[in-house]
Structure 1
């Protein structure tokens, strides 16, 4: 167990070192997240409000808006993840990523991205319905299903970038790669998710402290509390950016190792192989 934790930490550090050496990479998941949030605010929230009414026509319209918003958000995230993968591949190869060129790669794949975004959005909606309607069992099933889906489809983005396949074939290819090297994916993703979760938890603690100060009522406490809430939000957002950028780099490095039998950037064959060994 401790060996796996150490391996995961090393994979996380090396993935993040690529991001630190190429700070422009973080702009891509940030942009994807911003567009996704805008889609939720502008489209999904009004849709949810309509769903809460008692008129059938309004509920139907609300359902349509929620579906459209979920799709737009999914497309935005995947589009910029594809751009991130293209840029990360250049960085891992020792070059200087050109973000405009990376976005051009994503635009060239926009048709396939649109189809994969539809598949991804449908799965997300189904899992949400299971979670909302199934009680405790639904929460459990949706949680396990979501985790399995994330792992099995982890390689979809690199496959979309580097292979000329459609969304279904990309999912099959990702699943095949997962079966071939499941240990690295689990080890790396758990480590990255654990670090991001810890950072998020710190942000939440800071934010809660700020809220408690706001409740005190004095002017000084309110100013300090407001600042702490803001800092907490920024820390939580930073955790999301860290996770997105680091996973993007790790995914490309692992894909290149599995598909091309070649370790790139700071990764060694031992880094990407040892995670599946049991001894």
Structure 2
């Protein structure tokens, strides 16, 4: 276990080194995340207010707004993840990332991205309903189901960006690559998620502490404001780190699994630790 975590840490550092060498890659998940938040505020916030109302028609309108907001947020995140994958592919192949060209690739894939966003949103909704209304068994099923779904679809975005197939074919392709070459543990992704989670908790904790200090009195207001700002920076930074690093790692792993070659700073041995061939 310790060896796998060490290997995952090495993969994470090399993924982040690519982002540091090409800082423009980090802007893409940030833009996608900000636009997703805007979509949520514009549609989901008023939708939640209407859904809490008494008249049935008003509640229905609220649910429709929530659904639209959730879909748009998913679409925007996926759209910018496809741009990131296309640009990261340039970096890993030794070229300077051309974000404009990567953006054009995503534009050419708009119907496919829209379809994948719809499938992803519906599956997430299904797991959410199962988790909320299925009792203990439903929560367990949703947890395991979401984990399996995440594993099977981990390479969907690189497949969309680099192969240009439809959303259903992308899921099949990703699942096929998993069955052919992967073991059950993707160490780099686990470490990336773990680091991001830790720093997100730190950021949220700082923001909560800052709010408590602000509400406690004027003398502590300045310190509280600093803590809130610092916590926000840490939490946003963790999200950017996770999005950009996972995007680079996913493209590198795609090339290794699909083409049996290492790209960028990665070695075959390192990537083999994340994608164990079936024997």
TM-score of the superposition, structure 1-length normalised?
Answer: 0.94
8 Å Cα contact 2:180-2:277 kept in structure 1: no
Deviation at 1:208, TM superposition (A): 2.9
Report the equivalent of 1:69: 69
Establish whether residue 94 from structure 1 lines up as the match of residue 85 from structure 2: no
**2:165 aligns to what SS in structure 1?**
coil
Relative distance call for 1:31 and 1:180 in structure 2 (3 A) is: same
**1:126 aligns to what SS in structure 2?**
helix
Establish whether residue 257 from structure 1 lines up as the match of residue 256 from structure 2: yes
> Residues of 1 paired with 2:24 and 2:50: CA distance?
40
Report the equivalent of 2:6: 6
8 Å Cα contact 1:53-1:59 kept in structure 2: yes
Report the equivalent of 1:108: 108
8 Å Cα contact 1:199-1:236 kept in structure 2: yes
> Residues of 2 paired with 1:202 and 1:131: CA distance?
27
TM-score of the superposition, structure 2-length normalised?
Answer: 0.94
- Per-residue deviation, residues 129-171 of structure 1 (Å, max 9, x unmatched): 2222234443333222222211211100111111132111100
Report the equivalent of 2:43: 43
Relative distance call for 1:5 and 1:266 in structure 2 (3 A) is: same
Deviation at 1:220, TM superposition (A): 3.3
Report the equivalent of 1:81: 81
Deviation at 1:185, TM superposition (A): 5.8
**2:100 aligns to what SS in structure 1?**
helix
> Residues of 1 paired with 2:160 and 2:37: CA distance?
24
> Residues of 1 paired with 2:131 and 2:52: CA distance?
18
**Where in structure 1 do 4 or more consecutive aligned residues deviate above 4 Å?**
none
8 Å Cα contact 1:184-1:272 kept in structure 2: no
8 Å Cα contact 2:187-2:273 kept in structure 1: no
Report the equivalent of 1:188: 188
**1:96 aligns to what SS in structure 2?**
coil
Report the equivalent of 2:143: 143
> Residues of 1 paired with 2:190 and 2:4: CA distance?
10
Structure 2, unpaired ranges of 5+: none
**1:266 aligns to what SS in structure 2?**
coil
> Residues of 1 paired with 2:260 and 2:5: CA distance?
24
> Aligned runs of 1:95-244 on 2, under 5 Å?
95-183=95-183, 186-217=186-217, 219-244=218-243
Structure 1, unpaired ranges of 5+: none
Deviation at 1:22, TM superposition (A): 0.4
Aligned residues: 277
RMSD value over aligned CA atoms?
1.7
